[in-house]
């Protein structure tokens, strides 16, 4: 397999848009599509080729990245009269960057193989700022040949590419990683509440956590950013900033719990975190990290 110069990217959200923008380079003709046309127009202004439909993009590209919200959106992009499966050429590599259930990912890969495509899981972690910097981590599930075919495209926005194993391994790794990340967010919020109740400075708690590695970069950015907004924001304003992230986190945890159930594994902590995570993102009740003056 080889990677052609025409590369497609579907889904221009917080991570998808900067990732797609990094494909605008001498090595590739970046074709982009999103239902939100201003995102497409922004990348077209930067040098990308805007597509008016999934079919138009799929028919032009031998490598297609998909970075949309959930299983249902991936399903809709792959199937149907306008879908990738209907319009892509034989041998096209389809990289699913979305966080989805492993069961659906494996089903899509089987369907793709029957049609002569290569569908792999290549979820990403690192956040929007790392997408802008080109320092994301990709977790790839697929054959060595598929990894080698996709890696040059991934490298435009990657600091690290991990071959997790065969198909389905990449999304399994992503679900485990997200579980750990969201658990950290919940624990940090509640430990800060305890520190404040004991008369300790939350800044001191963070400083110690950063020094010994208990608090990582993403935890620190999340906690400081969220609490700064929460000082003055209304519930509606908090929802505009953090609501979608909280709902996405709950969706990701639902995917982890569903995949665990398929494996006969029970995740009681994940279920607890799933039911708390939106409140943590929204800084509601005991999940809020208090101000020093409170």
Give the active site residues: 174
Provide the b/e sequence for 20-53 (b: ≥16 CB within 10 Å): bbbbbeeebbbbbbbeeeebbebbbeeebbbbee
Angle at 188 between CA 185 and CA 189, to 5 degrees: 85
Residue 213's contacts (CB-CB under 8 Å, 6 or more residues apart) are none
- H-run or E-run covering 119: strand 118-121
Q: How far is CA 290 from CA 97, 184, 219, 227, 276, in A?
A: 36, 18, 16, 8, 18
Q: Is 290 helix (H, G, I), strand (E, B) or coil?
A: coil
Given a contact cutoff of 8 angstroms between Cβ atoms, the answer to whether 67 and 16 are in contact is: yes
């Amino acid at each position: 397999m080889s990677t052609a110069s025409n590369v497609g990217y579907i889904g221009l959200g917080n991570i998808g848009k900067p990732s797609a923008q990094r494909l605008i380079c001498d090595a590739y003709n970046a074709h982009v599509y999103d239902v939100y046309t201003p995102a497409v127009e922004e990348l077209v202004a930067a040098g990308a080729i805007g597509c008016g439909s999934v079919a138009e993009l799929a028919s032009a590209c031998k490598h297609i990245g998909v970075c949309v919200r959930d299983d249902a959106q991936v399903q809709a992009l792959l199937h149907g009269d306008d879908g990738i499966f209907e319009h892509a050429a034989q041998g096209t590599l389809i990289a699913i960057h979305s966080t989805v259930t492993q069961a659906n990912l494996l089903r899509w890969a089987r369907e793709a193989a029957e049609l002569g495509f290569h569908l792999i899981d290549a979820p990403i972690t690192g956040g929007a700022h790392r997408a802008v910097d080109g320092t994301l981590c990709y977790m790839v599930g697929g054959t060595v040949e598929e990894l080698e075919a996709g890696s040059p495209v991934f490298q435009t926005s990657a600091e690290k590419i991990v071959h997790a194993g065969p198909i389905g391994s990449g999304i399994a790794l992503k679900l485990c990683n997200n579980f750990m990340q969201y658990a950290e967010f919940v624990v940090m919020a509640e430990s800060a509440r305890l520190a404040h109740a004991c008369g300790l400075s939350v800044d001191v708690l963070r400083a110690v956590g950063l020094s010994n590695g208990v608090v990582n970069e993403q935890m620190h950015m999340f906690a400081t950013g969220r609490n700064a907004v929460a000082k003055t924001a209304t519930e509606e304003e908090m929802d505009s900033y953090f609501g979608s992230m909280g709902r996405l986190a709950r969706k990701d945890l639902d995917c982890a719990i569903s995949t665990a159930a398929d494996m006969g594994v029970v995740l009681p902590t994940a279920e607890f975190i799933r039911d708390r995570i939106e409140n943590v993102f929204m800084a509601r009740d005991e999940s809020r990290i208090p101000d020093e003056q409170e």
